[in-house]
């Protein structure tokens, strides 16, 4: 009874708590990769429509984040990294987060469909549904392959951006999808190596918890060996210039070298922490170079009214 009464108490949630529910750091990466997909796509897109598409993708990503935090509040409460999130900290009620997430999801998809195009809206709806239903509700608690398959949701934004401009899907954004898809496991497994106790306490079957450190380090190397050539693919396929190629080859070699160090690491997690930090820089550099490549070809020509 007391629980019921406390749940009925008026909310103390601040605006900042709702912003935190949207996982702004994840959102910024989603918006950035979607922006790159949108800019490198052939054809013309009015800047207002382009900004509308990015706004909808950002809000859609925020909706997925809020719904994830709603469902995973029990896990978040048991992990040091996430215990201060709005729901486990008691600042936002689970029902508030659920309503917030569903409202944002609905608005983002409908507005994207009405103001941009239906393919982009359908892809955004699929991305949110995949992240919430497949990753959060199903895979995360049941298999160490959770972030491998679930990573597809985080890899889709460049395709949505491309679809916003062209109204279709092509091989170029699919390569960008594959880059993020194969980037996700080494990125998160590097983190999970030195957070394994946290994940074990929360009952999340991350690879180091289920298969051990040695196997995780081996898998990080295998996925990185697949990732580095994929990073070079946009240059090899001819839709990125030599500057991109140079950056992709050098950073690709650097991330393989780091993965080898992670594989060889026997004590401590220095290499794993470096791998985690560098993987963020690696992905950012690849997409930033694609952007530079396109901008040097004339942004204003692309955004013709």
**CB closer to other proteins, 46 vs 81:** 46
**CB closer to other proteins, 10 vs 238:** 10
**CB closer to other proteins, 115 vs 292:** 115
| Minimum distance from residue 296 beta carbon to other proteins (Å) | 27
**Where do contacts with other proteins occur on this chain (CB under 8 A)?**
9-15, 18, 46, 48-49, 52, 55, 107, 111, 113-119, 167
| Minimum distance from residue 167 beta carbon to other proteins (Å) | 5
| Minimum distance from residue 278 beta carbon to other proteins (Å) | 37
Three-state SS sequence of the chain: CHHHHHHHCCCCCCHHHHHHHCCHHHHHHHHHHHHHHHHHCCCCCCHHHHHHHHHHHHHHHHHHHHHHHHHCHHHHHHCCCCCCCCCCCCCCCHHHHHHHHHHHHHHHHHHHHHHCCHHHHHHHHHHHHHHHHHHHHHHCCCCCCHHHHHHHHHHCHHHHHHHHHHCCCCHHHHHHHHHHHHHHHHHHHHHHHHCHHHHHHHCCCCHHHHHCHHHHHHHHHHHHHHHHHHHHHHHHCCCCCHHHHHHHHHHHHHHHHHHHHHHHCCCCCHHHHHHHHHHHHHHHHHHHHHHHHHHHCCHHHHCCC
**CB closer to other proteins, 114 vs 246:** 114
| Minimum distance from residue 53 beta carbon to other proteins (Å) | 11
| Minimum distance from residue 10 beta carbon to other proteins (Å) | 5
**CB closer to other proteins, 118 vs 270:** 118
């Amino acid at each position: 009874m007391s629980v019921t009464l406390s749940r009925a108490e008026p909310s103390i949630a601040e605006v900042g708590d709702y912003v935190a529910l949207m996982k702004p750091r994840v959102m910024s990466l989603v918006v950035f990769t979607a922006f790159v997909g949108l800019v490198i796509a052939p054809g013309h897109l009015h800047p207002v429509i382009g900004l509308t598409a990015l706004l909808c993708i950002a809000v859609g990503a925020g909706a997925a984040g809020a719904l994830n935090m709603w469902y995973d509040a029990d896990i978040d409460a048991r992990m040091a990294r996430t215990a201060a999130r709005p729901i486990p900290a008691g600042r936002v009620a689970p029902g508030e987060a659920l309503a917030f997430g569903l409202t944002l999801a609905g608005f983002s998809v409908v507005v994207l469909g009405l103001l941009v195009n239906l393919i982009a809206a359908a892809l955004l709806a699929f991305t949110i549904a995949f992240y919430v239903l497949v990753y959060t509700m199903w895979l995360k608690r049941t298999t160490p392959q959770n972030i491998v398959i679930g990573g597809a949701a985080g890899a889709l934004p460049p395709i949505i951006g491309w679809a916003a401009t062209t109204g279709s899907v092509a091989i170029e954004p699919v390569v960008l999808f594959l880059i993020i898809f194969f980037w996700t496991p080494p990125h998160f497994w590097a983190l999970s190596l030195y957070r394994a106790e946290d994940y074990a306490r929360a009952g999340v079957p991350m690879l180091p918890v289920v298969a051990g450190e040695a196997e995780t380090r081996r898998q990080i190397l295998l996925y990185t060996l697949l990732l580095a050539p994929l990073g070079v693919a946009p240059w090899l396929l001819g839709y990125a210039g030599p500057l991109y190629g140079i950056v992709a080859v050098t950073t690709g070699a650097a991330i393989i070298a780091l993965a080898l160090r992670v594989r060889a690491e026997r004590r401590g997690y220095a290499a794993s922490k470096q791998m985690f930090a560098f993987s963020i820089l690696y992905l950012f550099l690849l997409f930033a170079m694609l952007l530079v490549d396109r901008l040097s070809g004339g942004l204003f020509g692309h955004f013709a009214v």
